Amino acid sequence: MEYKDYYSTLGVEKNASPEDIKKAYRKLVRKYHPDVSKEKDADARTKELNEAYDVLGDPEKRAAYDELGQAPRQGEGFRPPPNWGYDFDFGQDGGGEDLFADLFANIGRGRGARGGGRGFQMRGEDLHASISIGIREAYTGASHTISLRVPKHENGRITMEDRKLTVAIPPGVTPGQQLRLAGQGQPGSGGPGDLYLEIRFSEDKRFHVEGKDVYQTVPVAPWEAALGGDIEVETPSGSVSVNVPANSQTGRKLRLKGRGLPGGVPGNLYLVLEVVLPPSNMPKARELYEAMARGLATFNPRK
């Protein structure tokens, strides 16, 4: 059985903390997710990452893996300790890589049948899907009911069935983050796989998200930008009063510290000003524009 270095797969040291392992996994799975990645081997890499995290992300599996992997050498076979294969068949049929993955898929899932039912308990395949939420739901959290069409093995045939799940979206999620729904993947004799839901934000021209920071476009009237003053702005976390500095231009950013996406360290909210002119087909507006053209003839915005 070929030894697989799960720590190397996730790019972490063997003494990495559970939090470091989780961060590394999330970062890589976002990079290689088949829906967003342009890498040619995205599918294979995602499978490898899920397999590695399934072991290293579980304390019991990780402890067993560390114990078994203490002495492997490059090119050597993998040598389980005494009695490890009590409930598993270590025959030569099948690929060594699959055997290795199946071994750790069964740790913590209960012992397999003994006697005539011996052999590996195959864990079901993981499923991947995406879910779209509004920016405000990322602040408050939400509950969504999703519908999935998933393959089902029935009487030796594969059919498709509709499945509905209620998903709790925690506050502070970010675009590209994956939620893991344990046991909601494909069924298997060794237990079901997991469902990974990638978070996507519904398109909204007013908002742009970078990590935990949120950028919100705020229209202002020409006199508000020129003269300055307080304005009321409806943000994803509620209404706030902000002061627009005099002589502001389109693109100026006003930072509201800690009012970005929530979390242990919340992000910031940046209000990006956009000066909006009254249309010149309004009689009063046209009159004022003509007066400005005469009175401010020496002003040239291109100099």
Last residue of a domain, one of 154, 178, 200: 200
Interval 248-273 mean pLDDT: 96
Same domain, 173 and 257: no
> Which CATH number belongs to the domain containing residue 239 in this structure?
2.60.260.20
CB atoms near residue 112 (< 10 Å): 17
Distance CA 10, CA 98 (A): 18
DSSP string, 86-114: GGS---S-S-HHHHHHHHHHSTTS-PPPP
- Examine residue 302 and state whether it is found in any structural domain, yes or no: no
The most confident of 27-41, 73-87, 260-274, by mean pLDDT:
260-274
Same domain, 238 and 175: no
- Examine residue 144 and state whether it is found in any structural domain, yes or no: yes
Distance CA 189, CA 207 (A): 46
Name the 3-class secondary structure at 233. strand
CA-wise closest residue to 236 among 169, 142, 140: 140
Query: Under a CB-based contact definition with an 8 Å cutoff, are residues 226 and 282 in contact?
Result: no
Same domain, 138 and 108: no
Q: Tell me the residue range of the domain where 109 lies.
A: 6-117
The stretches of 77-198 forming alpha helices (DSSP H) are: 96-105, 135-140
Query: Under a CB-based contact definition with an 8 Å cutoff, are residues 122 and 102 in contact?
Result: yes
Total domains in the fold of the chain: 3
**pLDDT beyond 90 at 139:** yes
Q: What are phi and psi of 301, to 5 degrees?
A: -70, -10
Instruction: Give residue 57's pLDDT.
Output: 84
Lowest-pLDDT range, 113-122, 170-179, 255-264, 271-280?
113-122
The most confident of 109-123, 155-169, 175-189, 247-261, by mean pLDDT:
247-261
Same domain, 111 and 25: yes
Same domain, 61 and 100: yes
Last residue of a domain, one of 150, 182, 200: 200
For 134, the token pair is 């509004």
CB atoms near residue 45 (< 10 Å): 19
The reply to whether the predicted model has a pTM over 0.75 is: no
Beta bridge partners of 121: none
Same domain, 218 and 185: no
Tell me the per-residue pLDDT of 186-207, one tens digit each, with 9 for 90 and over.
777 778 888 999 999 999 999 9
Lowest-pLDDT range, 39-53, 114-128, 182-196?
114-128
Last residue of a domain, one of 173, 200, 227: 200
Same domain, 34 and 113: yes
DSSP for residue 265: S
Same domain, 76 and 105: yes
Same domain, 51 and 85: yes
Strands 238-244 and 157-169: unpaired
CB atoms near residue 274 (< 10 Å): 15
For 226, the token pair is 């020129």
- Examine residue 300 and state whether it is found in any structural domain, yes or no: no
% of residues, the chain, pLDDT over 70: 78
Mean pLDDT (the chain) is 81
